[in-house]
Structure 1
Amino acid sequence: MPGARVARGERVTLRIVEEEDVPFLQRGSATPEIRYPLGNPVRSREEFEVSTDGTDRFLVCLDDDDDPGRPADGAVRPIGAVTLTGVDYRRPELGYWLVPAVHREGYGTDALTLAIDYAFREYDTPTVGAEAFDFNDASRGLLESLGFTEEGRKQDFMFVDGSYRDMVMYGLRRDDWQHRTQ
């Protein structure tokens, strides 16, 4: 069951990942529609780390519970995950995915908006980064719609689904984000 609420928007809530959430995270990240665009290997439950130094992990949830603490059973429906890595020593890097059943419904925009607000509120960083494979048009479009700009490209970065693929690197400056949200 997802943990305490970290941020709440109009449609989604970011909640702390708990040990009990590992099966959902494992199933989600192993789904081909998610795994291929992320370039993730299939991992066993034991290989999933719930808490890692320098990483903030959140479940993206549809939330029927107004309690900011631990939600009641059945009051929360997890639909994805957002991570911020490198928060303790460099600029935070966003990672994210949503279950295929909710793709193209705007939940990604809502979740990343909450995560970006969180990153700039909690960490003294001038920039938040993110990466997307060159073939992942949906993810690249999402980042660009939020104001991320392309900073570079890692050529032949990873072997994904039968071929080497480029990774596109993005950044979003604090000043640019604050200007957009005012």
Structure 2
Amino acid sequence: MPGARVTRGERVALRTLERGDLSFVQRACTDPDLRYPLGTPVKNRTELEEGFEDRSDDRFVVCLDAPDAPPGAPDEGDTEPIGVVSVQDADWKRPELGYWLVPSVHGEGYGTEAVSLAVDYTFRTYDVPAIGAGAFASNDASRGLLESLGFTEEGCRRKFMYVDGEYRDMVQYGLLREEWRG
């Protein structure tokens, strides 16, 4: 069950990722609709638990909260997890955003709101001049999301990752603090 609410938008909330959320997070490692677009390697529960302890990023569960959901740890039924956003490497170089949502909510605008909240969080929490994010060249939805928030295409890492039997290009994006309209 997701933890305390870190921030909230009009429709989604970002809540702390807790150990109990690992079975939900494992979905990105096993669901082909998520794993292939993300390039996520298959991981078992033990590998996810080890990564949970060793992580150096800020990870949040994207939730649809009930109107009366408390800011602290919610009760069962007060929130529905629909995805994850992460901020990696913010404490020592340019932060890199990562994000995914369950396929059943794709195209409903939740991703744009969740990533926007993560950008706000990052610029409020860390003294960094810019934020980066990457998307596979073939992932038009993810690229469109980043561009709609003001991210600028900075380059392409050709044949960056081997996913589902082929090498994929990764388009790198950046957003400067002064460009952020949030």
TM-score tier (shorter): over 0.9
Counterpart of 2:81 in structure 1 is 78
TM-score of the superposed pair, with normalisation by structure 2: 0.95
Match in the other structure for 1:135: 138
Number of equivalences: 179
Alignment of 1:12-27 (within 5 A): 12-27=12-27
Counterpart position of 1:88 = 91
Change (3 A) 1:83 1:52: farther
AA aligned to 2:61 is: L
Deviations 1:69-116 (A, max 9, x none): 111111110000001000110111000000000000000011001000
Structure 2 gap segments, 5+ residues each: none
Do 1:80 and 1:96's aligned partners in 2 also have CA atoms closer than 8 Å? Answer: yes
Which residue of 2 is the match for residue 45 of structure 1? 45
Alpha-carbon distance in 2 for matches of 1:56, 1:37: 21
Relative to the length of structure 1, the TM-score reads: 0.95
Q: Following the alignment from structure 2 to structure 1, what is the Cα–Cα distance between the partners of residues 7 and 52?
A: 19
Q: Which amino acid aligns with 1:22?
A: L
The structural deviation recorded for 1:28 is 3.5
Q: Paired residue for 2:57?
A: 55
Matches of 1:16 and 1:133, distance apart in 2: 27
Question: What is the CA deviation profile of residues 116-147 of structure 1, one whole-angstrom value per residue up to 9, with x for unaligned ones?
Answer: 00000000001010001111111011001100
- 2:20 maps to a residue whose letter is E
Asked if the contact 1:154–1:167 (Cα under 8 Å) also holds between the matched residues in 2, the reply is yes
In 2, the alpha carbon distance for the partners of 1:10 and 1:81 equals 17
In the TM superposition, residue 51 of structure 1 has moved relative to its aligned partner by 4.7
CA contact (8 A) 1:59 1:80 kept: yes
Identity %: 61
